[in-house]
Structure 1
Amino acid sequence: MDFLKQDKRPLYLKIKEHIENLIEQEIYKAGDKLPSETTFAKKLDVSRASLREALRVLEKEGKIIKSQGVGTFVSKPIPRFKKGIEELFSVTDTIKNEGFTPGTKGLDIKKEQADKSLAAKMKLKKNKKILKIERIRTADEKPVVFCIDYLNHNLFPIDSESDFKHSIFDLLENKYNLNIKYAFAEIIPVTANHLLIDKLNVKKNAPILCLEQMHYDNQERLFLFSKNYFRSDQFQFKVLRKR
């Protein structure tokens, strides 16, 4: 391919990046078998030696798997973030701890009246308003979590002018002296609908992990109900079970 020849980097690196792009675009999906070296090299108009070196690096990085006598296959993506679900964590801290830069996009804050279902979940009286915060959390500018948070601002004087671009936990603890004690969590596997496709930049029906949590403070007050949609190719949750 002409564009490979125009790039001044070592050829195997250009081939490697091109194959990564083909995988990213799902031209070759997880589990797909790649063409034979001869066919692939001819298709890319490169030497088999350069292609072989590119495939060697991709295999070392875990992006492809070679099976002797069978062929070369695209690996399933390895999650970048692996968390114990027993730990109450903020998305911001999780991203930071893995060496990435956390960010926020699409921040939308508004006060709205809780519907019947939400009012029941948050133990609110009829017609009470809550603060709804929607935002996309990013790692090195890549969308990884879509967050919907419902704050019971009737418990403390928080308002829509507060800084919600970073950790809500840090904001509540440091600015509003709220002592976060624990949360009840439920993991719900879902597939990407039109909203999540747009927010998380994923394909239709991509697997998503929805983490629903009810957060309580040290006075046993339910102050936050959250629905966080995690890209399953980026996050993996674990739990320690004992007998």
Structure 2
Amino acid sequence: MKQIKKINLKSQVRAELEEYIHSLDLDVANKLPREEELCRILGISRVTLRSVLDDLAAEGIIIRVHGRGTFVNPHFREIACRFDQAIHFPDLIESSGYKARMEILEIRMEPAEKEVAEALRLAPGAQVWSALKVFYADEHPCVISYDYVSTEIFSEEALEKLKNYKDSIFYFLYQETGRRIAWDKVEIDTILSDDILPRGMKVKGFPERKPFLFLSSVNYDEKNRESVYIREYINTSILKYSQIRKRIF
């Protein structure tokens, strides 16, 4: 580990600690150095260190045992997809051991249905851009995603670029408008695969009569403006979500 520059301090401390944790042979030892020693090595205050350790403990990456010290949870490496992290699907697919690919099936302008309009705080029937995408894991379709953005945010010229864009809608939004997505609010449900794709649309290899995880999310920018509404349908036979949770007694 090396000393931390005091720019984005907490993020840098976390990155340095995570790199150190991943370098450990947990079959040999999983105890972290004492807090005083970590502060000395990293060149930071105990307040900053404890803030980062609190976050890691809340996520189940480390375990703090009173009177004994701080230990790395040996099971955290078994988790590829976490529910508490909004990671882009290509990264989730790759971390689950597959080759990722994304294809845009359809982009169109349409009147916002009631749920979409309410999520984006638009007038009923306001026009939105709708993008339908499929994410593949080793050429197996594993995620269907519907993205909705107000036509007041993207121009038609921008949407022409989006048709050939292979990265996240959030990166595209930032590049075109300067809006940076900061957080989202998610609702979780389940749905049968038969009810996901538009009537008459076929995707090769898409399973029939299979339960999918359904996430609907409103994504907010740094000014807390509703910017993107997304419906995501996930084949959990491929992307297996799991979570380490800290029990509260």
Q: TM-score range by the shorter chain?
A: 0.5 to 0.7
Asked if structure 1 preserves the Cα contact closer than 8 Å seen for 2:79 and 2:243, the reply is no
Conserved? CA contact 2:174–2:180, under 8 Å: yes
What residue ranges of structure 2 are gaps of 5+ in the alignment?
1-77
Residue equivalent to 1:160: 159
- 1:180 aligns with 181
- What does residue 193 of structure 1 align with? 194
Residue equivalent to 1:217: 221
Normalization by structure 2: what TM-score? 0.58
Would the alpha carbon gap of residues 140 and 187 (structure 1) be closer, same or farther in structure 2, given more than 3 Å must change? same
Q: Secondary structure at the match of 1:137?
A: strand
Sort the Cα spacing of 1:81 and 1:95 in 2 relative to 1 into closer, same or farther, 3 A. farther
1:202–1:161 distance in 2 versus 1, CA, 3 Å: closer
Contact 2:217–2:230 under 8 Å retained in 1: yes
- 1:215 Cα deviation after fit: 0.5
Over 3 Å counting, the alpha-carbon distance change for 1:98 and 1:238 in structure 2 is: closer
For residue 216 of structure 1, what is the amino acid of its counterpart?
A: Y
Going from structure 1 to structure 2, the CA distance change for 1:100 and 1:153 (only over 3 Å counts) comes to farther
Label 1:176 to 1:168 Cα distance change in 2 as closer, same or farther (>3 A). same
Indicate the residue corresponding to 2:130 in structure 1.
132
**Residue from 82, 85, 89 that aligns with 1:84:** 82
Find the counterpart in structure 2 of residue 12 from structure 1: none
- Sequence identity, in percent? 23
Q: Aligned partners of 2:176, 2:112: CA distance in 1, in Å?
A: 25
Q: Contact between 1:104 and 1:135, CA under 8 Å: does it hold in 2?
A: yes
Contact 1:184 1:213 in 2 (8 A): yes
- How far apart, in 1, do the equivalents of 2:226 and 2:160 lie? 22
Checking the alignment, whether the CA contact within 8 Å between 1:210 and 1:230 is kept in structure 2 is yes
CA displacement 1:34-72 (0-9 Å, x = unmatched): xxxxxxxxxxxxxxxxxxxxxxxxxxxxxxxxxxxxxxx
Uncovered stretches (5+) of structure 1, i.e. residues with no partner: 1-79
Alpha-carbon separation, structure 1, partners of 2:142 and 2:243: 21
